[in-house]
Chain A
Amino acid sequence: MTSKAVTHQATLPDQPSFGQTPSQTVGPFFAYGLTPTQYGYDWPSLVGPDMADETTAGYRIRIEGQVLDGAGVPVADALIEFLQADSTGRYCQTDTSNTRFTGFGRCGTGTDPESCFRFETIKPGVLDRAQAPHINVTVLMRGLLLHAFTRMYFADEEAANAADPVLAEVPSERRHTLVAKLVSQGVYRFDIHMQGENETVFFDV
Protein backbone atom coordinates (compact mmCIF):
# COMPACT_ATOMS: atom_id res chain seq x y z
CA MET A 1 0.00 0.00 0.00
CA THR A 2 1.28 3.37 -0.88
CA SER A 3 0.98 6.15 1.54
CA LYS A 4 -1.72 8.59 0.88
CA ALA A 5 -0.54 11.32 -1.44
CA VAL A 6 -0.47 14.71 0.07
CA THR A 7 -3.14 16.70 -1.60
CA HIS A 8 -3.32 20.40 -1.57
CA GLN A 9 -6.62 21.70 -0.42
CA ALA A 10 -7.87 23.10 -3.66
CA THR A 11 -9.34 26.51 -3.20
CA LEU A 12 -12.54 26.53 -5.12
CA PRO A 13 -12.60 29.25 -7.71
CA ASP A 14 -15.02 31.85 -6.49
CA GLN A 15 -16.78 31.96 -9.82
CA PRO A 16 -20.53 31.96 -10.29
CA SER A 17 -21.75 28.53 -11.32
CA PHE A 18 -25.50 29.02 -11.09
CA GLY A 19 -27.34 31.48 -13.30
CA GLN A 20 -29.31 34.28 -11.69
CA THR A 21 -33.05 33.75 -11.58
CA PRO A 22 -34.50 36.30 -14.01
CA SER A 23 -36.62 39.19 -12.82
CA GLN A 24 -40.29 39.52 -13.76
CA THR A 25 -42.76 42.33 -13.27
CA VAL A 26 -44.46 42.73 -9.89
CA GLY A 27 -47.70 42.99 -11.93
CA PRO A 28 -50.86 44.92 -11.07
CA PHE A 29 -52.07 42.73 -8.18
CA PHE A 30 -49.25 42.82 -5.61
CA ALA A 31 -51.19 44.86 -3.05
CA TYR A 32 -52.79 42.08 -0.99
CA GLY A 33 -49.49 40.22 -0.83
CA LEU A 34 -46.98 43.01 -0.22
CA THR A 35 -48.97 45.95 1.19
CA PRO A 36 -52.21 44.38 2.52
CA THR A 37 -52.78 46.75 5.45
CA GLN A 38 -52.40 49.88 3.31
CA TYR A 39 -54.95 48.56 0.81
CA GLY A 40 -57.41 47.33 3.45
CA TYR A 41 -56.95 43.56 3.16
CA ASP A 42 -57.43 41.39 6.20
CA TRP A 43 -53.77 40.36 6.60
CA PRO A 44 -51.13 42.39 8.42
CA SER A 45 -48.39 44.04 6.36
CA LEU A 46 -44.83 43.35 7.44
CA VAL A 47 -43.77 46.75 6.14
CA GLY A 48 -45.72 49.93 5.59
CA PRO A 49 -45.31 53.60 4.76
CA ASP A 50 -45.19 54.79 8.38
CA MET A 51 -41.54 54.17 9.13
CA ALA A 52 -41.30 56.49 12.14
CA ASP A 53 -43.54 57.80 14.90
CA GLU A 54 -43.28 60.20 17.87
CA THR A 55 -40.86 57.88 19.63
CA THR A 56 -38.32 57.73 16.79
CA ALA A 57 -35.18 59.74 17.37
CA GLY A 58 -34.57 62.35 14.72
CA TYR A 59 -36.29 65.02 12.69
CA ARG A 60 -39.70 63.83 11.52
CA ILE A 61 -40.40 64.32 7.84
CA ARG A 62 -42.96 63.29 5.26
CA ILE A 63 -41.96 62.39 1.72
CA GLU A 64 -44.55 62.28 -0.98
CA GLY A 65 -44.52 62.06 -4.73
CA GLN A 66 -45.86 60.46 -7.84
CA VAL A 67 -44.46 57.99 -10.30
CA LEU A 68 -44.96 59.35 -13.81
CA ASP A 69 -44.87 57.35 -17.02
CA GLY A 70 -43.45 58.50 -20.34
CA ALA A 71 -46.69 60.34 -21.14
CA GLY A 72 -46.57 62.18 -17.81
CA VAL A 73 -49.49 60.15 -16.44
CA PRO A 74 -49.28 59.22 -12.74
CA VAL A 75 -48.87 55.47 -12.24
CA ALA A 76 -51.57 54.07 -9.93
CA ASP A 77 -50.09 50.60 -9.50
CA ALA A 78 -46.48 51.24 -8.54
CA LEU A 79 -44.78 49.96 -5.41
CA ILE A 80 -42.07 52.09 -3.82
CA GLU A 81 -39.61 50.80 -1.22
CA PHE A 82 -37.42 53.02 0.94
CA LEU A 83 -34.29 51.95 2.78
CA GLN A 84 -32.48 54.59 4.79
CA ALA A 85 -30.13 55.24 7.68
CA ASP A 86 -31.34 56.50 11.05
CA SER A 87 -30.78 60.06 12.22
CA THR A 88 -27.20 59.25 13.25
CA GLY A 89 -26.35 57.90 9.81
CA ARG A 90 -26.45 54.24 10.78
CA TYR A 91 -28.39 51.49 9.06
CA CYS A 92 -30.40 49.33 11.42
CA GLN A 93 -32.39 47.05 9.10
CA THR A 94 -32.85 44.29 11.62
CA ASP A 95 -36.50 44.13 12.44
CA THR A 96 -36.47 43.00 16.04
CA SER A 97 -38.62 44.22 18.85
CA ASN A 98 -35.81 46.26 20.39
CA THR A 99 -35.14 48.18 17.20
CA ARG A 100 -37.93 50.63 16.67
CA PHE A 101 -36.67 52.19 13.49
CA THR A 102 -35.71 49.74 10.76
CA GLY A 103 -35.25 52.31 8.02
CA PHE A 104 -37.33 50.16 5.67
CA GLY A 105 -40.70 51.22 4.27
CA ARG A 106 -43.11 50.33 1.52
CA CYS A 107 -45.93 52.23 -0.12
CA GLY A 108 -48.15 51.46 -3.10
CA THR A 109 -49.53 54.28 -5.22
CA GLY A 110 -53.01 52.74 -5.49
CA THR A 111 -54.72 54.13 -2.39
CA ASP A 112 -54.31 57.86 -2.98
CA PRO A 113 -56.67 59.79 -5.33
CA GLU A 114 -53.65 61.44 -6.97
CA SER A 115 -51.65 58.18 -7.05
CA CYS A 116 -49.13 59.59 -4.59
CA PHE A 117 -46.89 57.55 -2.36
CA ARG A 118 -46.39 59.03 1.08
CA PHE A 119 -43.86 58.00 3.72
CA GLU A 120 -43.67 59.17 7.32
CA THR A 121 -40.06 58.90 8.38
CA ILE A 122 -37.13 60.80 9.84
CA LYS A 123 -34.37 62.58 8.02
CA PRO A 124 -31.41 60.23 7.65
CA GLY A 125 -28.03 61.32 8.96
CA VAL A 126 -24.74 61.59 7.09
CA LEU A 127 -23.24 58.18 6.37
CA ASP A 128 -19.83 57.30 7.72
CA ARG A 129 -18.50 57.25 4.18
CA ALA A 130 -19.39 60.92 3.99
CA GLN A 131 -22.41 60.48 1.76
CA ALA A 132 -25.03 63.20 1.96
CA PRO A 133 -28.32 62.26 3.67
CA HIS A 134 -30.26 60.14 1.21
CA ILE A 135 -32.79 57.37 0.88
CA ASN A 136 -32.33 54.27 -1.29
CA VAL A 137 -35.43 53.86 -3.42
CA THR A 138 -36.62 50.75 -5.25
CA VAL A 139 -39.31 51.21 -7.90
CA LEU A 140 -41.55 48.32 -8.99
CA MET A 141 -44.66 48.27 -11.13
CA ARG A 142 -46.66 46.56 -13.82
CA GLY A 143 -44.81 47.23 -17.06
CA LEU A 144 -41.41 47.14 -15.37
CA LEU A 145 -39.84 43.72 -15.90
CA LEU A 146 -36.89 44.56 -13.67
CA HIS A 147 -37.17 46.88 -10.65
CA ALA A 148 -35.27 50.16 -10.85
CA PHE A 149 -32.94 51.54 -8.15
CA THR A 150 -32.64 55.24 -7.47
CA ARG A 151 -31.74 57.56 -4.59
CA MET A 152 -33.49 60.49 -3.05
CA TYR A 153 -31.48 63.45 -1.73
CA PHE A 154 -32.74 66.55 0.08
CA ALA A 155 -32.85 70.03 -1.47
CA ASP A 156 -31.95 71.68 1.83
CA GLU A 157 -28.63 69.81 2.10
CA GLU A 158 -26.83 71.76 -0.59
CA ALA A 159 -23.36 71.61 0.92
CA ALA A 160 -23.54 67.88 1.66
CA ASN A 161 -25.01 67.17 -1.78
CA ALA A 162 -22.19 69.09 -3.45
CA ALA A 163 -19.67 66.80 -1.75
CA ASP A 164 -21.59 63.56 -2.26
CA PRO A 165 -19.59 60.91 -4.14
CA VAL A 166 -22.65 59.32 -5.75
CA LEU A 167 -24.11 62.56 -7.04
CA ALA A 168 -20.63 63.25 -8.41
CA GLU A 169 -21.03 60.20 -10.69
CA VAL A 170 -24.24 61.61 -12.15
CA PRO A 171 -24.10 64.03 -15.09
CA SER A 172 -24.67 67.48 -13.59
CA GLU A 173 -27.69 68.25 -15.78
CA ARG A 174 -29.49 65.16 -14.41
CA ARG A 175 -28.65 65.56 -10.70
CA HIS A 176 -31.81 67.50 -9.98
CA THR A 177 -33.88 64.37 -10.69
CA LEU A 178 -32.51 62.87 -7.47
CA VAL A 179 -33.22 65.81 -5.19
CA ALA A 180 -36.51 66.08 -3.32
CA LYS A 181 -37.96 69.58 -3.03
CA LEU A 182 -38.88 71.05 0.32
CA VAL A 183 -42.55 72.01 -0.07
CA SER A 184 -43.34 72.99 3.51
CA GLN A 185 -41.88 72.53 6.97
CA GLY A 186 -40.82 68.87 7.14
CA VAL A 187 -42.53 67.88 3.88
CA TYR A 188 -40.57 66.88 0.79
CA ARG A 189 -41.77 66.16 -2.72
CA PHE A 190 -40.02 63.52 -4.81
CA ASP A 191 -41.50 62.67 -8.20
CA ILE A 192 -40.08 59.74 -10.10
CA HIS A 193 -40.10 60.13 -13.88
CA MET A 194 -39.73 56.80 -15.64
CA GLN A 195 -39.01 58.43 -18.99
CA GLY A 196 -38.89 61.78 -20.76
CA GLU A 197 -36.85 64.92 -20.50
CA ASN A 198 -36.62 64.67 -16.73
CA GLU A 199 -36.17 60.92 -16.56
CA THR A 200 -34.99 60.10 -13.05
CA VAL A 201 -31.48 58.75 -12.80
CA PHE A 202 -31.56 55.02 -12.10
CA PHE A 203 -28.50 53.20 -10.85
CA ASP A 204 -26.83 49.95 -11.68
CA VAL A 205 -25.99 48.77 -8.17
Chain B
Amino acid sequence: MTKVLNPRDWSSHPLYVDGGYRSTALRGPTRPLVALKPALSALASPVFGHDRLGATDADLTINGRKDADPLGERIIVKGRVLDENGRPVPNTLIEIWQANSAGRYIHKVDQHAAPLDPNFFGGGRCLTDSEGRYRFLTIKPGAYPWGNHFNAWRPNHIHFSLFGAHFATRLVTQMYFPGDPLLLLDPIYQGVPEKARERMVARFSIEDTQESYALGYVFDIILRGTSEAIWETH
Protein backbone atom coordinates (compact mmCIF):
# COMPACT_ATOMS: atom_id res chain seq x y z
CA MET B 1 0.00 0.00 0.00
CA THR B 2 1.27 3.40 -0.93
CA LYS B 3 -0.17 6.84 -0.60
CA VAL B 4 -1.28 8.42 -3.84
CA LEU B 5 -2.39 11.95 -4.37
CA ASN B 6 -6.11 12.60 -4.61
CA PRO B 7 -7.16 14.06 -7.95
CA ARG B 8 -7.80 17.72 -8.51
CA ASP B 9 -11.39 18.18 -7.44
CA TRP B 10 -12.85 19.57 -10.63
CA SER B 11 -16.06 20.52 -8.84
CA SER B 12 -14.06 22.98 -6.69
CA HIS B 13 -11.96 24.66 -9.36
CA PRO B 14 -12.84 27.12 -12.12
CA LEU B 15 -13.00 26.13 -15.77
CA TYR B 16 -10.15 26.97 -18.14
CA VAL B 17 -12.46 28.93 -20.40
CA ASP B 18 -14.93 31.04 -18.45
CA GLY B 19 -17.69 33.11 -20.04
CA GLY B 20 -17.35 36.01 -17.61
CA TYR B 21 -13.56 36.39 -17.47
CA ARG B 22 -12.71 37.56 -20.96
CA SER B 23 -8.98 36.80 -21.04
CA THR B 24 -9.67 33.09 -20.63
CA ALA B 25 -11.18 32.92 -24.13
CA LEU B 26 -7.83 32.76 -25.91
CA ARG B 27 -5.68 31.44 -23.08
CA GLY B 28 -7.47 28.49 -21.51
CA PRO B 29 -6.69 25.05 -22.98
CA THR B 30 -9.65 23.66 -24.92
CA ARG B 31 -8.72 20.00 -25.37
CA PRO B 32 -9.24 17.37 -22.71
CA LEU B 33 -6.33 16.96 -20.32
CA VAL B 34 -4.39 13.72 -20.69
CA ALA B 35 -4.63 11.70 -17.48
CA LEU B 36 -1.40 10.29 -16.06
CA LYS B 37 -1.16 7.23 -13.86
CA PRO B 38 -0.12 8.27 -10.34
CA ALA B 39 3.00 6.12 -10.62
CA LEU B 40 4.17 8.20 -13.55
CA SER B 41 3.50 11.59 -12.06
CA ALA B 42 4.41 11.09 -8.40
CA LEU B 43 7.01 13.73 -7.67
CA ALA B 44 7.96 15.70 -4.59
CA SER B 45 7.65 19.46 -4.61
CA PRO B 46 10.61 21.83 -4.30
CA VAL B 47 11.69 22.40 -0.71
CA PHE B 48 13.04 25.72 0.51
CA GLY B 49 15.22 26.19 3.54
CA HIS B 50 14.65 28.80 6.24
CA ASP B 51 18.06 30.23 5.42
CA ARG B 52 16.71 31.44 2.08
CA LEU B 53 14.17 33.78 3.63
CA GLY B 54 14.90 37.30 4.82
CA ALA B 55 14.07 38.36 8.37
CA THR B 56 11.31 40.75 7.25
CA ASP B 57 9.92 38.69 4.37
CA ALA B 58 6.65 37.98 6.20
CA ASP B 59 6.17 41.56 7.47
CA LEU B 60 4.95 43.71 4.61
CA THR B 61 4.60 46.71 6.91
CA ILE B 62 8.41 46.72 7.19
CA ASN B 63 9.91 45.08 4.12
CA GLY B 64 9.18 48.03 1.83
CA ARG B 65 9.59 50.72 4.45
CA LYS B 66 11.80 53.69 3.53
CA ASP B 67 11.24 56.43 6.11
CA ALA B 68 7.70 56.02 7.43
CA ASP B 69 5.04 53.41 8.02
CA PRO B 70 2.99 52.40 4.98
CA LEU B 71 -0.46 53.97 4.76
CA GLY B 72 -3.61 51.96 5.31
CA GLU B 73 -5.25 49.55 7.68
CA ARG B 74 -2.76 47.14 9.29
CA ILE B 75 -3.92 43.51 9.21
CA ILE B 76 -2.66 40.15 10.38
CA VAL B 77 -3.29 37.33 7.92
CA LYS B 78 -2.72 33.92 9.41
CA GLY B 79 -3.96 30.40 9.04
CA ARG B 80 -2.98 26.82 8.41
CA VAL B 81 -2.14 24.88 5.33
CA LEU B 82 -3.84 21.50 5.56
CA ASP B 83 -4.55 18.66 3.20
CA GLU B 84 -8.03 17.34 2.51
CA ASN B 85 -7.80 14.98 5.47
CA GLY B 86 -6.98 17.84 7.79
CA ARG B 87 -3.32 16.94 8.12
CA PRO B 88 -0.98 19.93 8.42
CA VAL B 89 1.35 20.66 5.52
CA PRO B 90 4.58 21.70 7.26
CA ASN B 91 7.59 23.64 5.93
CA THR B 92 5.97 24.65 2.70
CA LEU B 93 6.65 27.97 1.02
CA ILE B 94 3.87 30.55 0.84
CA GLU B 95 4.41 33.59 -1.37
CA ILE B 96 2.00 36.52 -1.44
CA TRP B 97 1.68 39.74 -3.42
CA GLN B 98 -0.90 42.46 -3.28
CA ALA B 99 -1.87 46.03 -4.08
CA ASN B 100 -1.30 48.83 -1.57
CA SER B 101 -4.10 50.43 0.43
CA ALA B 102 -5.01 52.64 -2.54
CA GLY B 103 -5.43 49.65 -4.87
CA ARG B 104 -2.15 50.18 -6.73
CA TYR B 105 0.45 47.50 -7.42
CA ILE B 106 4.11 48.41 -7.48
CA HIS B 107 4.34 46.37 -10.72
CA LYS B 108 5.67 48.54 -13.54
CA VAL B 109 2.79 47.60 -15.82
CA ASP B 110 0.07 48.71 -13.38
CA GLN B 111 -1.25 52.01 -14.76
CA HIS B 112 -4.14 52.52 -12.33
CA ALA B 113 -4.27 56.21 -11.38
CA ALA B 114 -3.95 55.64 -7.66
CA PRO B 115 -0.84 56.59 -5.70
CA LEU B 116 2.07 54.31 -5.01
CA ASP B 117 3.13 54.20 -1.39
CA PRO B 118 6.89 54.77 -1.11
CA ASN B 119 6.87 52.72 2.08
CA PHE B 120 5.01 49.69 0.76
CA PHE B 121 6.32 46.97 -1.55
CA GLY B 122 3.54 44.38 -1.43
CA GLY B 123 5.47 41.11 -1.69
CA GLY B 124 5.87 38.63 1.15
CA ARG B 125 6.80 35.01 1.83
CA CYS B 126 7.18 32.55 4.66
CA LEU B 127 7.35 28.86 5.42
CA THR B 128 4.63 27.03 7.33
CA ASP B 129 5.73 25.67 10.69
CA SER B 130 5.55 22.03 11.80
CA GLU B 131 1.77 22.41 12.34
CA GLY B 132 1.20 23.99 8.94
CA ARG B 133 0.73 27.47 10.43
CA TYR B 134 1.73 30.71 8.76
CA ARG B 135 1.38 34.41 9.57
CA PHE B 136 1.81 37.66 7.67
CA LEU B 137 1.56 41.24 8.85
CA THR B 138 0.46 43.58 6.07
CA ILE B 139 -1.82 46.41 4.96
CA LYS B 140 -5.33 45.77 3.71
CA PRO B 141 -5.15 46.01 -0.09
CA GLY B 142 -7.51 48.39 -1.89
CA ALA B 143 -9.91 47.49 -4.68
CA TYR B 144 -8.82 48.41 -8.20
CA PRO B 145 -10.44 48.72 -11.62
CA TRP B 146 -9.60 46.40 -14.52
CA GLY B 147 -10.55 46.22 -18.15
CA ASN B 148 -12.70 43.10 -18.23
CA HIS B 149 -15.97 44.99 -18.74
CA PHE B 150 -17.43 48.43 -18.12
CA ASN B 151 -16.87 49.57 -14.52
CA ALA B 152 -15.14 46.33 -13.53
CA TRP B 153 -13.46 46.36 -10.11
CA ARG B 154 -11.49 43.62 -8.42
CA PRO B 155 -12.55 42.99 -4.82
CA ASN B 156 -9.88 43.48 -2.17
CA HIS B 157 -7.60 40.45 -2.43
CA ILE B 158 -4.18 39.05 -1.68
CA HIS B 159 -2.54 36.69 -4.17
CA PHE B 160 -1.22 33.44 -2.69
CA SER B 161 1.19 30.89 -4.18
CA LEU B 162 1.81 27.53 -2.49
CA PHE B 163 3.64 24.30 -3.23
CA GLY B 164 2.61 21.63 -0.72
CA ALA B 165 4.46 18.33 -0.51
CA HIS B 166 3.94 17.19 -4.09
CA PHE B 167 4.66 18.70 -7.47
CA ALA B 168 0.95 18.40 -8.25
CA THR B 169 -0.30 20.09 -5.07
CA ARG B 170 0.84 23.43 -6.48
CA LEU B 171 -1.82 26.06 -5.83
CA VAL B 172 -2.09 29.68 -6.84
CA THR B 173 -5.15 31.40 -5.45
CA GLN B 174 -6.45 34.67 -4.05
CA MET B 175 -7.66 35.48 -0.56
CA TYR B 176 -10.72 37.70 -0.28
CA PHE B 177 -12.27 39.64 2.59
CA PRO B 178 -15.64 38.90 4.19
CA GLY B 179 -18.57 41.13 3.29
CA ASP B 180 -16.99 42.63 0.17
CA PRO B 181 -19.83 43.73 -2.15
CA LEU B 182 -17.56 43.37 -5.19
CA LEU B 183 -17.41 39.58 -4.76
CA LEU B 184 -20.88 39.28 -6.30
CA LEU B 185 -19.70 41.12 -9.39
CA ASP B 186 -16.22 39.68 -9.87
CA PRO B 187 -15.93 37.12 -12.69
CA ILE B 188 -12.66 35.72 -11.30
CA TYR B 189 -14.27 34.92 -7.95
CA GLN B 190 -17.54 33.89 -9.58
CA GLY B 191 -15.63 31.60 -11.96
CA VAL B 192 -15.32 29.13 -9.07
CA PRO B 193 -18.28 26.77 -8.53
CA GLU B 194 -20.60 28.30 -5.97
CA LYS B 195 -20.13 25.66 -3.27
CA ALA B 196 -16.37 26.30 -3.16
CA ARG B 197 -16.19 30.10 -3.44
CA GLU B 198 -16.34 30.89 0.25
CA ARG B 199 -13.23 28.79 0.86
CA MET B 200 -11.34 31.74 -0.62
CA VAL B 201 -12.82 34.25 1.82
CA ALA B 202 -10.85 34.87 5.01
CA ARG B 203 -12.65 35.01 8.34
CA PHE B 204 -12.41 38.07 10.53
CA SER B 205 -11.19 37.07 13.96
CA ILE B 206 -11.38 39.30 17.01
CA GLU B 207 -9.20 36.76 18.88
CA ASP B 208 -6.44 37.29 16.34
CA THR B 209 -6.92 41.04 16.30
CA GLN B 210 -4.14 42.80 18.13
CA GLU B 211 -5.33 45.45 20.56
CA SER B 212 -4.71 48.96 19.26
CA TYR B 213 -2.60 47.62 16.41
CA ALA B 214 -4.01 45.38 13.65
CA LEU B 215 -7.17 43.52 12.62
CA GLY B 216 -6.92 39.74 12.43
CA TYR B 217 -8.00 37.57 9.51
CA VAL B 218 -7.78 33.79 9.32
CA PHE B 219 -7.34 32.05 5.98
CA ASP B 220 -6.89 28.28 6.01
CA ILE B 221 -5.75 26.72 2.77
CA ILE B 222 -6.61 23.16 1.79
CA LEU B 223 -4.33 21.34 -0.64
CA ARG B 224 -4.92 17.99 -2.27
CA GLY B 225 -4.46 15.11 0.14
CA THR B 226 -3.39 11.52 -0.26
CA SER B 227 -5.25 8.25 -0.01
CA GLU B 228 -4.17 4.66 0.34
CA ALA B 229 -3.91 2.95 -2.98
CA ILE B 230 -2.22 -0.02 -4.49
CA TRP B 231 0.30 0.68 -7.16
CA GLU B 232 -0.60 -0.85 -10.43
CA THR B 233 1.73 -3.65 -11.36
CA HIS B 234 2.80 -4.27 -14.88
Contact = CB atoms under 8 A, between A and B. Distances in A.
B26 A33 contact: no
Secondary structure type dominating chain A contacts: loop
B199 A36 contact: no
B58 interface: no
B196 interface: yes
Contacts of A77: 109
Contacts of B85: 14-18
Interface string B123-151: 11100000000000000000000000000
A194 B225 contact: no
Interface in A1-59: 14-34, 36, 39, 41, 43-44, 46-47
Nearest to B32: A204
A91 B159 contact: no
Given A20-B9, A91-B44, A46 B93 contact: yes
B36 A143 contact: no
B69 interface: no
B222 A19 contact: yes
Given A17-B84, A83-B43, A30 B97 contact: yes
Given A93-B45, A146-B14, A165 B107 contact: no
B125 A46 contact: yes
Contacts of A28: 107, 109-110
A205 interface: yes
Interface stretch (A68-76, A115-123, A154-162): A68-76
A202 B33 contact: yes
Given A136-B167, A204-B7, A22 B197 contact: yes
B223 A31 contact: no
Contact of A32 (B16, B40, B97): B97
B44 A140 contact: no
Interface string A66-90: 0001110101010001010000000
Interface residues of A, number: 73
A144 to B, nearest CB: 5
Given A21-B221, A30-B161, A33-B95, 20 more contacts: A16-B84, A18-B86, A20-B84, A20-B224, A21-B171, A24-B200, A32-B107, A33-B123, A69-B26, A70-B25, A81-B170, A94-B47, A102-B46, A136-B167, A143-B26, A145-B16, A147-B172, A199-B31, A202-B29, A205-B167
The 10 lowest CB-CB distance pairs between A and B, nearest first, are A33-B97, A143-B23, A16-B84, A143-B27, A145-B14, A70-B26, A204-B33, A29-B107, A205-B41, A33-B123
Interface of B: 6-9, 12-16, 18, 21, 23-31, 33-37, 39-41, 43-49, 51-54, 63, 82-86, 93, 95-97, 99, 105-110, 121-125, 159, 161, 167-168, 170-174, 188-189, 191-193, 195-197, 199-200, 221-225, 227-228
Interface of A: 14-34, 36, 39, 41, 43-44, 46-47, 69-71, 73, 75, 77, 81, 83, 91, 93-97, 102-104, 110, 129, 131, 136, 138, 140-149, 165-166, 169-170, 194-195, 199-205
